Amino acid sequence: MIVLGIETSCDETGVALYAHDRGLLAHVLYSQVALHAEYGGVVPELASRDHVRKAVPLLREVFRAAGLASGAVDGVAYTAGPGLVGALMVGAALGRSLAWAWGVPALGVHHLEGHLLAPLLEPEPPAFPFVALLVSGGHTLLVDVAGVGRYRVLGESVDDAVGEAFDKTAKLLGLPYPGGPELARLAEHGDPARFSFPRPMTDRPGLDFSFSGLKTFALNTLHGLAGSAQDRADVARAFEDAVVDTLAIKCRRAVKATGTRRLVVAGGVGANRRLRVRLTELMQELGGGAYYPRPAFCTDNGAMIALAGCLRLTAGQAEDLAIRATARWPLDGLEAPAAG
């Protein structure tokens, strides 16, 4: 089975083709970062309009890259939620319309399921079960993953998502949008011994997170400084170290609680170099392994949607002709496919 995947949940337009017996055939991605940069964040209406402009040209491009005729697919998968509802509707309407025209099934995919399964695109994918740390601009979750559609949320952020905290702190430091990667680059020049930020919610049991206080701590620290380049780099390093330590502490707890020795790290923040080094060392210490999608598949992309859709479609899952887009969609409300 060859599945076309379409991702339009926020500010990236991703299209990919995935074959159940050959893996990823081709993928293309267009980022709207330049469009939203002058506003300091994503403008939903502009995002939706840009998806409309870019989706069909990207479709043509991915079929050319795969060497397939347009429509030479057995199914279509599109992101149905969660996300910006206008942006989701673009991908949902396009995916459902193409499937109807081609006479193939279409399936709405949960965006976070795509991220959780993205490491399966790699040459050495993790086997089920595993614990997944999903860290992005909109989500921070620890999930016990027993199989496709078999998810149990172990912990989540009670306020800011970790990527959101990165972006907000970067803005305090005067860094351009998107701020998370810029903060990580600045932190490379920081002194790790100068400031010590708190590790929130690690002094109590549980697997939930809180990151809004770190942003406030960074703001208060900056108020007492002259604001030199070194001051800003040192604050960036202290902030990043606090986030990485907090995530590592909670991952250790989750791995020990589940008895699983496989940790998957997904989402945009999963591309952070310092986080990858720390969690790899943690899993080696625990006698297990850490698994990551390549950086291109940490951010939103069509490949993860094509993969997730293919796994469900090949298991016999089907939907009616309704076009569905859901801004809020709990991950643990998903069901496993009948043959999953």
Residues 64 and 102 in one domain: yes
202 part of a folded domain: yes
**CA atoms of 202 and 277, how far apart (whole Å):** 20
263 and 145 in one domain? yes
- The reply, when asked if residue 208 is annotated as ligand binding, is no
Q: Is residue 253 part of a domain?
A: yes
138 is in an annotated binding site: yes
209 with 275, same domain? yes
The residues facing 13 across adjacent strands are 30
Q: What is the pLDDT at residue 318? A: 83
CATH assignment of the domain containing 81: 3.30.420.40
Residue type for position 311: L
Residue 74 confidence (pLDDT): 97
Ranges of the chain whose pLDDT falls below 50: 340
Q: Is residue 260 part of a domain?
A: yes
Q: Based on the domain organization, do 105 and 163 belong to the same domain?
A: no
Q: Does residue 178 sit in the same domain as residue 278? A: yes
Determine whether the annotation assigns residue 11 to a binding site.
Answer: no
Residues 35 and 152 in one domain: no
Residue 339 resides in a domain: no
Phi, psi of 43 (to 5 degrees): -100, 110
Integer angstrom CA distances of residue 4 from 23, 72, 114, 128: 12, 9, 14, 25
Tokens of 233: 């780099």
Nearest to 144 by CA among 160, 158, 128: 128
Q: Kindly state the greatest CA–CA separation across the chain.
A: 65
Number of domains into which the chain is organized: 2
Whether 107 is in a domain gets the answer yes
Within 8 A by CB and 6+ apart from 51, the residues are: 8, 13, 87, 90, 91
Omega of the bond prior to 293 within 30 degrees of 0, cis?
A: no
Q: Is 301 annotated as a binding residue?
A: no
Q: Does this model's pTM top 0.85?
A: yes
DSSP for 197-230, written as a single string = ---TT-SSSSS-B--HHHHHHHHHHHHTS---HH
Please check if 300 is assigned to a binding site.
yes
Instruction: Assess contact for 194 and 238: CB atoms under 8 A.
Output: yes
- CA–CA gap between residue 165 and residue 178 (Å, rounded): 12
CB-based contact 73:317 (threshold 8 Å): no
Residue 272 is labelled as binding a ligand: yes
Residue 111 sits in the same domain as residue 175: no
Q: Does the annotation flag 75 for ligand binding?
A: no
Are residues 152 and 264 both part of a single domain? yes
Verify that 146 and 246 share a domain, yes or no: yes
Q: What is the pLDDT of residue 340?
A: 46
Does 160 share its domain with 256?
yes
Answer yes or no: is 340 within a domain: no
pLDDT at 339: 61
Is 124 a domain residue?
no
Rounded CA-CA distance 128/117 in Å is: 10
Q: Give burial (CB, 10 Å; 0-12/13-18/19+) of 101.
A: exposed
Instruction: Please indicate, yes or no, whether residues 100 and 184 belong to a single structural domain of this protein.
Output: no
167 is in an annotated binding site: yes
Domain that holds residue 7: 2-117+297-333
Distance CA 140, CA 137 (A): 8
Same domain, yes or no: 207 and 258: yes
CB 163 within 8 A of CB 215: no
Residue 48 within any structural domain of the chain:
yes
> Residue 15, annotated ligand binder?
no
